[in-house]
Amino acid sequence: MKPVDAQVRGCYIDGEWVVPKKARLIEVKNPGDGSILAYVPRGDREEIDLAVKAAKKAFHSKEWQTFSSYHRGKLLYQAAEIIRENKQELTKLETLDVGKPLSQSAVDVEIAARYFEYYAGIADKILGETIPVEPGIIDYTVREPIGIVGHIIPWNYPLQIAARSISVSIATGNAAVLKPAEDTPLTTLKLVEVIEPLGLPKGILNVVTGYGHEAGAALSAHPEINHITFTGSVETGKKVMESAAQNIVPVTLELGGKSPNIVFADCNEEQALKWVLKSIIQNAGQTCSAGSRLVIEKSIKEKFVRKLAAAMEKLSIGPGMDDHDLGPVLSKKQFDRIQGFIDLAKQDGIRIVTGGERQLVEGCEQGYYLQPTILDDVPVSHDLAQEEIFGPVLTVTTFETEEEAIEMANGTPYGLVAGIWTENVGVAHRVASGLQCGQVFINHYGAGGGIAQPFGGYKKSGFGREKGLEALQNYTQVKNVALKY
């Protein structure tokens, strides 16, 4: 029986909220205690097709083609204001849906608003160039919208990434179809609900809920999609690429990481400790840019790890609604995956400095809480140092030279983010130049709030860039015009 407080939410297609009659419903659960928050439609190929056709019709409509860039920007500014007006509700809903602490969800809401502000300011400044060719020819370029954009949203930062997707799509004049993760669709739906009164033409923004292998697969394979943006696992990213290739459609892939914090002996220890800790417990470590590897100079390792373990052991663990330091991981599936890596560490005799066990929280026995964990002296070739664990689990390896530090940092299939901790400017820049990753932070760490900072990866972390001006490359296409006079 459905709990009385669990509502059925609909898909948003062509300006209407709809629950397909034939659709089965998906339970959306609170990771904190396992209770059912809501039900959303199990959309599939049919709903995706309706949404894409609505987007195509709207994109080619006279209303949208004459919707000036100034007015797109104005609408985005208004959206930012509305997000802030609804901050309390969005914060609570993000915490209930994802499990993260309220304070972290509040930051996500502000970042969502800032995305709309940032791209609002860019909407009427998407410029072309004049190109000197030869006398008698005026040659220039125009950046035009790419068309119908499909966004497949991950479950760990749904509000942030939905806001990022919607804002840049509208700013560049595209129409969008979003497929939020089945586990955490509620803030994406709420975001659309709160900005709906702004008067965006019907069909320019559409949301279809459903499973990745059904709705997500249908979106990535749809022949009338012009660009696909996907954030998620490497294996699913491959499938998205394969589908897009059938239609000769470009993709932007953000596929996770195994990001190192590289700590030198001359670092500011207090700051390094603070950010190494924060970068692995943020959202219970369920972050593609998490600092999941500590690559540390051998001479300071024992002292540093001891202090880090002590700090971890002082963290409060519990439901996000109580704003503990560390909330639950998303689900039993996610918990079992993380626990499997910890069991592998035990099996292979790798020392667990702290954590490694499930944390039982009174009153939340159906939630999946895990003690933050440090795995010491992990061989660089071990699966624990190579694979994305996606939980509050930190591996530790040591180095003695700059060259060794760079080699270790680059020694995984991923290349998303890295942190460098040193007071030596020369060391910092030499190491930064040698790293194979999309973002490098020196004496700080964190990609989440960097609205203007291009974000994306090398190697299996994907390609293309979100955020900042670089994102405009994904959502526009260049037309060259040459006039002979």
Strand partners, 399: 297
Distance from C-alpha of 131 to C-alpha of 128, rounded to nearest angstrom: 10
d(CA 79, CA 196): 9
With contact defined as beta carbons under 8 Å apart, do 410 and 386 qualify?
A: no
d(CA 197, CA 194) in angstroms, rounded, equals 7
Residue pair 176/137 in contact (Cβ under 8 Å)? The answer is no
Active site residue 254: yes
- Indicate the burial class of 46 (C-beta count within 10 angstroms; 0-12, 13-18, 19 or more): middle
- Taken in order 161, 164, 167, 169, the sign of the CA dihedral is negative
> Pick the catalytic residue: 254, 297, 388, 466?
254
Closest by CA to 390, choosing from 370, 360, 405, is: 370
Interstrand relation of 36-41 and 7-8 (parallel, antiparallel or unpaired): parallel
Distance (Å, rounded) from C-alpha 289 to C-alpha 332?
Answer: 22
Residue whose entry in the numeric block shows the structure tokens 């809401």: 109
φ, ψ dihedrals at 398, nearest 5°: -120, 155
Q: Find how far residue 471's CA is from the centre of its chain.
A: 14
- Report how far residue 150's alpha carbon sits from residue 140's, in angstroms, rounded to the nearest whole number: 29
Active-site residue list: 254
